[in-house]
Structure 1
Amino acid sequence: MIIWQPGQQINNGRFIIQGKALGSGGFGITYKALEPSTGKLYAIKTLNSTMQIREDFAEQQVKFINEALTIKGFDYPHILKVYEVIQEGQLFGVVMEYIDGETLFQYAQNKGQLSESEALLYIDQIGRALEYIHDKAQLHRDIKPQNILLRQNKQEAVLIDFGLTRSIATKSMTNSFTEGYAPIEQYRRKGSFGSYTDVYALAATLYYLLTADGLKKEGEVTPVPAQNRKYDDEPLPEPKHYNSRISQRVNDAILQGMEIEPEKRTPTVLKFRENLGLVVQPRRTPPPNPLPASEEGGLKSSVGMDYRKLRDLLAQGKWKEVDEETKQVMLAVAKREKEGWLYEEHIDNFPCEDLRTIDQLWVKYSDGKFGFSVQKRIYQGLGGTREYDLDIWDKFGDKVGWRKGGSWLYYKDITFDKKAPEGHLPCGWYGEDFWGGMLIRVVGFFSRVETCRL
């Protein structure tokens, strides 16, 4: 049995274990480790002592490594980043991003139940992360407040602990689960598994975040387990029973997401987010026969996008609405409305004609103060290139007013006014509430602005 100790060097001295373990679960144990050559901290997860003494330890370790390699392919701001697999003697470890923060469970325990708006912020972030995972034909299967970390001093939730991750196509699964958050199908050795499996757990997590105080008063720590509801006829009190301030819409969405049988449950995370009111309705499709550019004042589009609403909002100086409209038209042009974000490949292939139209509208109606070309000029003026230089990125954030006092702002703190600093807008499409993580996306976008000669 191998347990790494504080101060122990592993992987030929590359890492040094720091303090006691960060946490231990049914399968794994996670350590905090320092890489002396870079000064960076990492989290390293291995199979725990219980797993190490099992007769099938070698087989379990192979599964552990394969799962880690699957997760390594995930690249999303609200999913814990996995970097590599290392070996120390007979034990393999998964090197992951270290997050200095607390779990949503700890946060709710210390602060008390969350307001509806704050709870929905985190559920939306984790919901979009789950949609990303489901698009890759994977299930998380262990969504709960304890498996969601909040970055310190930031309203950013990160999904962790993928120890139960499985392919959606897998019909037979281990019956490991967390009571109160696991749907009924996870109590069965064989069952019907799908995106709705994670929907139940996500809805139960929201249930807890909004009712933690009420649950605590009645001596409960989780929602009523699905097993009790199904076989003991124990009812699930509606969330409003514990917290009268919960809106009826959110109350009903939670209950539908926690239906016992899968066929009655909200089928997808996207639908659950829609029921919660978190999804902007898909943008109108481009007109099949758009008016010629000459008739539309030069609102050119290579894909037939209609920019009249964007133009009109800009003319009226409705800067926040314009920022949201900009995001929606860009997603529509790239055919990424469902996903809600653009990757580098979408940015690199974004039509120059459309990019130019959007930018020219911003520049014209802001009198040259806002626009992609304005932001690119400021960034390059600071020495910025497509290389990811964090120092220049911070200086850029300071210059355009996206940082104050050395800290990145949240989207809610953005100034939607012409009095804002030069280059302050547009900003919403870049990343919403994960400003510090926008670097790769924005720098790649500025490169596309340069390529299109804006």
Structure 2
Amino acid sequence: MTLIGRTLLSRYQVTQQIGTGGFGDTYLAVDLALPGQPQCVVKHLSPKDTSPQVLTVAQRLFDQEAQLLHRLGEHSQIPRLYAHFNDQGEFYFVQELIEGKDLSHELQPGQQWSEEKTVKLLSDILEVLVVVHQENVIHRDLKPTNIMRRNSDEKIILIDFGAVKEIQGIEVNAQGQTHLTVSIGSPGYMPSEQAQGRPKFASDIYAVGIIGIQALTGLKPSQFPRDQKTDEILWRNHANVSDELAEILNKMVQERLSDRYSNASEALTSLTSLLTQSNNFSTANTHRLTTVNISQSAATTPISTPPFRQSVTQSIKSSLGGIITVIFFVGGVYITLENLRSPSNSLKTDYTELQNLLSQKQWKEADIETEKVMLKIANREAEGWIDANAIESLSCADLRELDQVWMKYSEGKFGLSIQKEIYLETGNPLGKFQESSYHKFGDRIGWRKNGDWLEYSDLTFDENALRGQFPTCKNAAQKFSGCRWPLYWLFARAETCQL
């Protein structure tokens, strides 16, 4: 029965149907209680089995998923949950309307994307998925039609989380036990363990990898050629792609669960490392080109007196937008570039509250304040996490201040520089994620114990904490197997800032 024309909760007036499927219907509605009557989305779920046992389980699942959607909706790239309610055994979610188009409009059959464009898409998806996984949630139905690109800012939005669809598929068997009658997910984007009703974080990674291969090849998942013996996807001959990206995508879509990246944070780390290598190559070429151009113009200038060195320095700073230069004499020309960025010496935030908390040895409160500081100096408060590009632009003055206040009040026990030291001692490379040695790092600073990453609440918040335990990189998430910012890149930035 259609909902068009009905007003739910005496507030949400349904105007048109915008989607339907085996797991329920989706409608467009207007909110009569708000000024301007803004539009919203109503999702209607109805269990096939309406027995009391099923409805009891469905109500419990419904309430659980509503809590998750409400929490996830606090992120700017996940639709907000406005309301959820049960009306005579029918379940309803009211969510934010995302103005935009889903990725199926971009991933057209026969159109192959460039590697650069594909990497950007994968990175954008994984950045949001990191937050989802940190909340201990599996999306379970990632596919182009469930990934929107918002019109207002072109950002990726994840919609239609699969777990809510369980409500539709609950039935009671002959023994009176409730069970799920269908797998949640979409053919082509769903790995085998998910099809068997055992989804993991890595199941989402599989789906993202499939989307990446679809973009590069212009083929639908049903068109991917496969090895008859291993069922491996044979896609390399259908795309122009580097070995590095191909290796990442192949790991994402491995049939065996243990061979894939275990969560979005791990996958994003590898992808970011690839982006970093590309950026470093580009920067190095820009550096060489700039040096040649300046050398040619400087060669006609007298070079025998200190005023020349000053004039060349002024000229370079002006033409390159404040780039720091060091002038020395080589082959008749004083010229070189030492730094490609000139971090501001002024602090971007106030550290008084952090200093007060640290002076009172309130380590947990100081750690939470540090997270706020990090997001602020990176200008990533809205996103709630920091990507590699933002870390690369972090002010050295702020990183030094943050490190020094922790070092001062912990008497040299805690701080970024201490963590970087331990990170290197445990065999971790700067600017690159290496899982085995990263686990050693977690063991050394007390983020892991007996082979498992600890819950944040299980950390030691007194003088018995291990050296380097603070500041942590993840307060809101469940465990330390992923971070709100990539540590390997943060420590590379710390090295550049000479922490």
TM-score range, shorter chain: 0.5 to 0.7
Deviation of 1:78 after TM superposition, in Å, equals 2.1
For 2:119 and 2:344, the matched residues in 1 are separated by 19
Q: Is structure 2 residue 249 aligned with structure 1 residue 257?
A: no
Structure 1 counterpart of 2:20, one-letter code: S
For 2:145 and 2:40, the matched residues in 1 are separated by 19
User: Structure 1 residues 324, 110: closer, same or farther in 2, change over 3 A?
Assistant: farther
Q: Where does 1:36-435 land on structure 2 (aligned, <5 Å)? A: 36-37=32-33, 38=35, 39-48=37-46, 51-52=47-48, 54-55=50-51, 56-57=54-55, 59-74=57-72, 75-109=74-108, 112-152=111-151, 154-164=153-163, 175-189=183-197, 191=198, 193-212=199-218, 215=219, 221=222, 223=224, 233-238=230-235, 240-244=236-240, 246-277=241-272, 316=324, 321=341, 334=373, 341-342=380-381
User: What secondary structure sits across from 1:63 in the alignment?
Assistant: helix
Which residue in the other structure is 1:368 paired with?
A: none
User: What secondary structure sits across from 1:266 in the alignment?
Assistant: coil
For 1:271 and 1:4, the matched residues in 2 are separated by 43
Structure 1 counterpart of 2:15, one-letter code: Q
Q: 1:34 aligns with which of 22, 30, 36?
A: 30
Query: Are the equivalent residues in 2 in contact too, given 1:138–1:165 (CA < 8 A)?
Result: no
User: What secondary structure sits across from 1:73 in the alignment?
Assistant: helix
Which residue in the other structure is 1:290 paired with?
A: none
TM-score, scaled relative to structure 1 = 0.55
TM-score, scaled relative to structure 2 = 0.50
User: What secondary structure sits across from 2:133 in the alignment?
Assistant: helix
Deviations 1:92-122 (A, max 9, x none): 3111110122211232128934333333223
Structure 2 counterpart of 1:100, one-letter code: E
User: What secondary structure sits across from 1:46 in the alignment?
Assistant: strand
User: What secondary structure sits across from 1:138 in the alignment?
Assistant: coil
Question: Over alpha carbons, which structure has the higher Rg?
Answer: 2
For 1:153 and 1:110, the matched residues in 2 are separated by 26
Range that drifts further, 53-62 or 27-36? 53-62
CA RMSD, 1 decimal: 4.5
Structure 2 counterpart of 1:16, one-letter code: Q
How high is the sequence identity, in percent, across the aligned residues? 20
Deviations 1:393-416 (A, max 9, x none): xxxxxxxxxxxxxxxxxxxxxxxx
For 2:60 and 2:184, the matched residues in 1 are separated by 18
Deviation of 1:341 after TM superposition, in Å, equals 4.2
For 1:268 and 1:10, the matched residues in 2 are separated by 38
User: Structure 1 residues 85, 322: closer, same or farther in 2, change over 3 A?
Assistant: farther
Deviation of 1:336 after TM superposition, in Å, equals 6.7
Aligned residues: 299
- Return 5+ residue gaps in structure 1 as ranges: 167-171, 282-312, 348-353, 362-454
- Return 5+ residue gaps in structure 2 as ranges: 166-178, 277-320, 326-336, 351-369, 387-393, 402-499
Structure 1 counterpart of 2:244, one-letter code: R
For 1:278 and 1:335, the matched residues in 2 are separated by 21
For 2:379 and 2:206, the matched residues in 1 are separated by 22
Range that drifts further, 32-41 or 79-88? 79-88
